[in-house]
Amino acid sequence: MVHLSTSQLRKSGLQAVVFDMDGVIIDSHPLHRVAWRQFLGKLGKDVDDVTLDFVLDGRTRKDILFHFLGPLTDEQLEEHGHHKDELLSNLDDEVQPIPGVVEFLDGLSEAGIAMALATSASRGRALGTLKELGLAQYFQAIVTADEVVAGKPDPHIYSLAAERLRVAPGNLLAVEDAVSGVRSALAAGMRCAGIAKAARAELLLAAGANPVVPDFRGLSFEQLEAVFQ
């Protein structure tokens, strides 16, 4: 667990943390790959892992559908989106929190640090997933793809999270696992830490995330403090 005293946090300038959900709070990326491959396969589109990397970069469902299927009507977006979500829901029992995240959230909560979620998921899926895993109570604000016109890397989703927390972006730390998410947070005026392994870690560092760790078990107060110095 990360132990953070109130005096330490005030000194560092950190007042709140905003988390992405998929790949940061929950270990859902492998399931998203399966669901999108199944969905696209039913439409006659055979995609490999490299092509599917697009769905893991913080994109909204609408952006992903446009990317693979081209322009769609609102009715088609709703129909395809519902179908894809059904495929994902069949795999939901396998979703687990990212290692160390519960202890990390507990540490922030005990220190009086406000927390928010800024996710490209729909509000229904975000709230359902958090409640199912017993994580909803940690977040004072939840901003989803349903509430913004443009998805990440547009900064609006993070700006809206800061507004709802009533904390200046300069005193906020975002935690992301996607390049588009890092760019979104930085464009909103926040600092950003990354959760990623191997090659993806290098991509997040190049995008401006600092520090980047494999999971929350590797994130210390000293690293958070250094971000705000």
- Answer yes or no: do 193 and 118 share one domain: yes
Domain boundary among 39, 69, 93: 93
Domain boundary among 93, 112, 143: 93
Q: Look at residue 6 in the predicted model and tell me its pLDDT.
A: 46
Question: Residue 67 maps to which CATH number?
Answer: 1.10.150
- Answer yes or no: do 185 and 110 share one domain: yes
- Answer yes or no: do 19 and 50 share one domain: no
Q: Which two tokens stand for residue 154?
A: 């547009």
- Answer yes or no: do 153 and 41 share one domain: no
Q: Look at residue 72 in the predicted model and tell me its pLDDT.
A: 85
Q: How far apart are CA 217 and CA 113, in angstroms?
A: 18
Domain boundary among 63, 93, 123: 93
- Answer yes or no: do 59 and 132 share one domain: no
Q: Look at residue 68 in the predicted model and tell me its pLDDT.
A: 87
Of 20, 22, 57, 177, the catalytic one is 20
Residue 215 lies in domain: 6-28+97-227
Cβ atoms within 10 Å of 107's Cβ, excluding its own: 17
Q: Look at residue 54 in the predicted model and tell me its pLDDT.
A: 80
- Answer yes or no: do 73 and 142 share one domain: no
Do the domain assignments include residue 1?
Answer: no
Q: Tens digit of pLDDT for each residue in 53-79?
A: 787 776 777 888 888 888 888 888 888
Do the domain assignments include residue 82?
Answer: yes
Do the domain assignments include residue 36?
Answer: yes
Q: Tens digit of pLDDT for each residue in 199-224?
A: 789 999 999 999 999 989 878 766 77
Q: Look at residue 92 in the predicted model and tell me its pLDDT.
A: 65
Secondary structure of 135-198 in HEC code, one letter for each residue = CHHHCCEEECHHHCCCCCCCCHHHHHHHHHHCCCHHHEEEEECCHHHHHHHHHCCCEEEEECCH
143 forms bridges with which residues in the sheet? Answer: 118
- Answer yes or no: do 132 and 115 share one domain: yes
Q: How far apart are CA 166 and CA 181, in angstroms?
A: 21
- Answer yes or no: do 164 and 66 share one domain: no
Q: Could you check whether the bond before residue 214 is cis, i.e. omega within 30 degrees of 0? A: no
- Answer yes or no: do 175 and 198 share one domain: yes
Report angle CA 119, 120, 121 to the nearest 5 degrees: 90
Q: Average pLDDT of each block of 10 consecutive residues along the chain (229 residues)?
A: 48 84 87 79 82 74 84 86 77 81 91 92 89 95 92 94 96 94 97 89 94 86 73
- How far is residue 118 from each of residues 13, 39, 50, 51, 204, measured CA to CA in Å? 21, 25, 25, 25, 17
User: Is 20 a catalytic site residue?
Assistant: yes
Do the domain assignments include residue 163?
Answer: yes
